[in-house]
Structure 1
Amino acid sequence: MNARIERVVTSGTFALDGGTWDVDNNVWIVGDDKDVIVIDAAHQADPIVEAVGDRHVLAIVCTHGHNDHITVAPELSARLDALITLHRADDMLWQTTHPGAPYEPLDNMHRMTLAGIDVDILHTPGHSPGSVSLHLPELGALFTGDTLFSGGPGATGRSYSDFDTIIDSIRDHLLTLPDETTVYTGHGDTTTIGAEKPALHDWIARGH
């Protein structure tokens, strides 16, 4: 198995509900020397295109529709000749940033195959209605976008988010995975399922 995981960090702003925040985003490139997927399309296209190189991009997978995760999705799609995928439950967020731009509804897909390995697509709403996580069992890898971070759930204090829903998603779909699964997040450091699982009741008690 030659599949590997590469990270590109880009910087820009996240805007919602009238506020703007400076953020660094993780963009994950997963695949082998021939085929890859790009997970999220944050802020600047050039470093992502450079990291992809001459490899074929099967899809640009947007973990959710917040602007900092889809900033350059249409530009990447054109430059890399790759389709964009997004869960339709986040269409209202997509239309705010890229009105009328096309994408392939991710909710029509439950599994992709990449470099001979399976990519299971898990609908994990809460941070946003259409948030998804990607599980690659053969790599022991889970890409969670803004659903689960090192230290707890993603933020749920803004429009279209819900704390009880994100807890259900994490408990029912993510913490059931093997403890050794590495969690590759949308921002910040990686963690593991085993490291986060014991804190579930503390997250519920604190309410965020």
Structure 2
Amino acid sequence: MRTYTGKVTLGGAPDVRELAGLVISKASVGPMDNNTYLLRCRRTGEQLLIDAANDAGTILGMVGGSLGRIVTTHQHYDHWQALGEVKQETGARTTAHHLDAEGIPVPTDDPVSDGDTVSVGEVNLSVIHLVGHTPGSIALLYDDPSGHPHLFTGDCLFPGGVGNTFGDKDNFAKLIDDVESKLFARLPDETWVYPGHGADTTLGHERPNLAEWRSRGW
């Protein structure tokens, strides 16, 4: 079995991680090199997609069969370009935070808030609301009972820093406060981070840099 690295290229094959209860497939799509993640419950075969960002054909090929739910991490256009087509083809229900739902042109069937749970088969994902990149950005946490936590952060946390707050100092303060208090303060260093663009990281790798990020203001 090939070792998962989290390194994917636009137009390339997905990288697949096999956990005891969950299979995670990661692919890169669209001109903005967005990551899209397909989660499959090993016990039931049910599937959930995080960010139908672009390239519906690529996403549907990765899905391969039935799809129960599509979660959109936030309202920015590069994270929902394929949402309408993938929903139409699969009949999947759509989920987003209620504060960002109006900014997503495909209606949100099941709006969520901080602390809610989203399920895929027998696997539960916790919704973590992170303010600053957008009003309703969310991360999804799978606290693997057979291993370390897995955290899908959208555009709120990347290798090397928090998400873009477009020069708004208040939004930056909100975002880094939320990232520190809701992610770094609660979760262990081995937590694996799956961001909305680019390579994966861990909280342990990023933790020593928090003070530097805060001081630089981005």
Q: What TM-score bracket applies, with the shorter chain setting the length?
A: 0.7 to 0.9
- Asked if 1:53 corresponds to 2:64, the answer is yes
CA RMSD of aligned residues (A): 1.8
Kindly provide the CA deviation profile for residues 149-186 of structure 1, in whole angstroms up to 9, marking residues without a partner as x. Answer: 00010100168x81011111101111121110100000
Q: Give the CA deviation at 1:86.
A: 1.2
Aligned AA for 2:74?
H
Q: Give the CA deviation at 1:109.
A: 7.2
Q: 1:36 — aligned with what? A: 47
* 1:58-69 alignment, distance < 5 Å: 58-69=68-79
Q: Would the aligned equivalents of 2:70 and 2:93 in 1 still touch at CA under 8 Å?
A: yes
Matched residues in 2 for 1:114 and 1:57: separation?
A: 10
Between structures 1 and 2, the one with greater helix share: 1
Kindly provide the CA deviation profile for residues 49-90 of structure 1, in whole angstroms up to 9, marking residues without a partner as x. Answer: 100111x32210000010000111111111111011111211
- Asked if 1:182 corresponds to 2:192, the answer is yes
Q: 1:80 — aligned with what? A: 90
- Asked if 1:151 corresponds to 2:179, the answer is no
Matched residues in 2 for 1:109 and 1:47: separation?
A: 31
Q: Give the CA deviation at 1:192.
A: 0.2
Q: 1:197 — aligned with what? A: 207
Q: Would the aligned equivalents of 2:150 and 2:192 in 1 still touch at CA under 8 Å?
A: yes
User: 1:26 aligned to 32, 35, 49, which one?
Assistant: 35
Q: Would the aligned equivalents of 1:3 and 1:115 in 2 still touch at CA under 8 Å?
A: no
Q: State the secondary structure of the residue aligned to 1:162.
A: helix
The 10-residue stretch of structure 1 (196-205 or 110-119) with the greater mean CA deviation from structure 2 = 110-119
Q: Normalised by the size of structure 1, how large is the TM-score?
A: 0.86
Q: State the secondary structure of the residue aligned to 1:57.
A: coil
Please identify runs of 4+ aligned residues in structure 1 that moved more than 6 A: none
Q: Give the CA deviation at 1:28.
A: 0.5
* 1:104-123 alignment, distance < 5 Å: 104-107=110-113, 110-123=116-129
Q: Would the aligned equivalents of 1:40 and 1:62 in 2 still touch at CA under 8 Å?
A: yes
Aligned AA for 1:8?
A
* 1:88-107 alignment, distance < 5 Å: 88-94=98-104, 98=105, 101-103=106-108, 104-107=110-113
Q: 1:9 — aligned with what? A: 28
Aligned AA for 1:40?
D
Q: State the secondary structure of the residue aligned to 1:155.
A: coil
Q: 2:138 — aligned with what? A: 132
Could you tell me which runs of 5 or more consecutive residues in structure 2 were left unpaired when the two chains were aligned: 1-19
Aligned AA for 1:134?
L
Matched residues in 1 for 2:54 and 2:163: separation?
A: 19
Could you tell me which runs of 5 or more consecutive residues in structure 1 were left unpaired when the two chains were aligned: 13-22
The 10-residue stretch of structure 1 (73-82 or 28-37) with the greater mean CA deviation from structure 2 = 28-37
The 10-residue stretch of structure 1 (140-149 or 28-37) with the greater mean CA deviation from structure 2 = 28-37
